[in-house]
A and B are shown apart, each in its own frame.
Chain A
Amino acid sequence: MHSLLPLPFFHVWSYLQTQPLMGLTATLCTWELACFIDIKAGHKPITNPTFLSITLLACALLVTGTPYSAYFNGAQYVHFLLGPATVALAIPMYANRHSIKKHFVPIFISLTTGSIVAAVSAMLIARALGAPHDVLVSLGPKSVTTPIAMAVAQNLGGQPPLTAVFVMITGVFGAIICTGVFWLVRVKDWRAQGLAAGTAAHGLATARMILINETAGAYGGVAIGLNGIITSIMLPLLVNIFGF
């Protein structure tokens, strides 16, 4: 072994595995690569940079046999910023305050109903198909933006990484099908389209709506923030009522 591979290589590699530098650098490099691919592909829902980065990094960890904890040792510095970023959602919500105020009752009724239907139907279907408790409560907040969804899942005894994956699948799926669904059920109002996209499939579907119509994008932003708050409050109650 020693004669085949130079010892310093092993030494450097195993040293780097104990340091935050590798995980952090790998995260940023992969993100840049994913953004490049996304631009080249013309912003297809399936080339979403978040989705691509997670897939590439997960494969890299599995191939090199690097434990997730070694990777997260560096990536935690990026992860930490989710907290202040969630607080920062207050700024776009404030910017849309007049529209929200004017249509507050319709927004509140539609959003709360849609949010409950999405969460409860997901958990009921998964329970009927045999999923255990921790999977069910990880699935419940999947329509909410990731930082909020992960915190909600953690509070309910779910698995935050599992929730992050569910949120991502929901977002990619929602972004791909939302325009088709609106066409099928004849939802033409941009405000209704944006609100529905933000409520059912958070930022990923909203990002898609922003490209089509500005008003739809603004209502999507409102839905992301409001649904985050409503789900945080409602989901623990729903989990109790339905006994998930």
Chain B
Amino acid sequence: MGGAGNYEGAMVRSIMMLLLCQLAGTVVQEGTGLPIPGPVMGLVLLLGLLIWRGGPSQSLHDTAGGFLKYLGLLFVPAGVGVVTELQVLKANALAIAVAIPVSTILGLVVTGVLMQRLLRGKADA
């Protein structure tokens, strides 16, 4: 019983950790006017902390896993915002229909071919 209670406390602490990193990142972003979004700054900060402190606790690992498992759901509210952009999409339909497929293929080819060349003969760890 006590174990379960501790675990729930640990989960709250893990969420607090994620929010504190985001908050610190946002404070830095707003304060310095850097173009890097607050949550990204929070990501870098947490990565630094993990390297410094030697890895996440089991609870932070599980909590982060929980957030990332439902990442797809978290995009939905913003995506539904498409209803406010239908005019813009219609007005730029051709530009969007050409730019996205072509640039995505170029990105895949350039990254993949370059990475394969640079890794040639290098086995993984």
Chain B residues lying within 8 Å of A178, measured Cβ to Cβ, are 108
Question: Roughly how many angstroms separate A232 CA and B34 CA in the complex, as a whole number?
Answer: 10
- Cβ A160 vs Cβ B37 within 8 A: no
B104 at the interface (CB under 8 A from A): yes
Q: Which of A88, A121, A232 contacts B103 (CB 8 A)?
A: A121
Chain A residues, CB < 8 A from B18: 84, 87-88
- The reply to whether the CB of B1 lies closer than 8 angstroms to some CB of chain A is no
A167: which B residues are within 8 A, CB to CB?
A: 75
Query: What is the chain B residue whose CB lies nearest that of A127?
Result: B95
Q: CB distance B115 to A49 under 8 Å?
A: no
Least Cβ–Cβ distance between A214 and chain B, in angstroms:
11
Contacts of B119 in A (CB 8 A): 103, 106, 189, 191-192
Q: Interface centre among A145, A168, A203, A232, by most B CB within 10 Å? A: A232
Query: Which of under 10, 10 to 19, 20 to 34, or 35 or more describes the interface residues of B?
Result: 35 or more
Report the minimal beta-carbon distance from B101 to chain A, rounded to whole angstroms.
Answer: 6
Pairwise interchain contact A83-B98, C-beta atoms closer than 8 A: no
The distance in angstroms between the C-alpha atoms of A76 and B105, with both chains bound, is: 33
Residue of B nearest to A204 (CB): B72
Q: Shortest distance in angstroms between A48's beta carbon and chain B's nearest beta carbon?
A: 8
Q: How large is the interface on A (under 10, 10 to 19, 20 to 34, 35 or more residues)?
A: 35 or more
B76 at the interface (CB under 8 A from A): yes
Q: Are A169 and B100 touching (Cβ within 8 A)?
A: yes
Bitwise interface map of B from 93 to 125 toward A, beta carbon under 8 Å scored 1, else 0: 011101111111111111111111011001011
Residue of A nearest to B78 (CB): A164
Which residue among B37, B70, B96, B107 has the maximum number of chain A CB atoms within 10 Å of its CB? B107
What is the bound-complex CA distance between A50 and B15, given in angstroms?
Answer: 24
* CB–CB A233/B46 < 8 A: no
B24 to chain A, nearest CB (A): 10
With known contacts A79-B78, A200-B104, A88–B47 Cβ distance under 8 A: no
B43 CB-CB contact with A under 8 Å: yes
Task: Type the 1/0 row for A77-105, where 1 means its CB is closer than 8 Å to any CB of B.
Answer: 01101111111111111100111001101
Is B94 within 8 A of A85, CB to CB?
A: no
Which A150-167 residues have a C-beta within 8 angstroms of B?
Answer: 150-152, 154-156, 159-162, 164-167
| A154 CA to B71 CA, complexed, in Å | 20
Please provide the chain A residues from 45 to 69 with a CB less than 8 Å away from any CB of chain B in the complex.
48-50, 53-54, 57-58, 61-62, 68
In the complex, the chain A residue whose C-beta lies closest to that of B118 is A106
How far, in angstroms, from A215 to B89 measured CA to CA in the complex? 37
Query: Can you identify 8 A-B contacts, CB atoms within 8 angstroms?
Result: A27-B77, A68-B84, A87-B21, A89-B68, A90-B46, A125-B99, A165-B85, A166-B100
* B interface residues (Cβ-Cβ under 8 A, vs A): 15, 18-19, 21-22, 25, 35-40, 42-44, 46-47, 50-51, 55-56, 60-61, 63-65, 67-68, 70-85, 88-89, 92, 94-96, 98-116, 118-119, 122, 124-125
3 smallest beta-carbon distances between A and B, as pairs: A161-B81, A114-B111, A118-B107
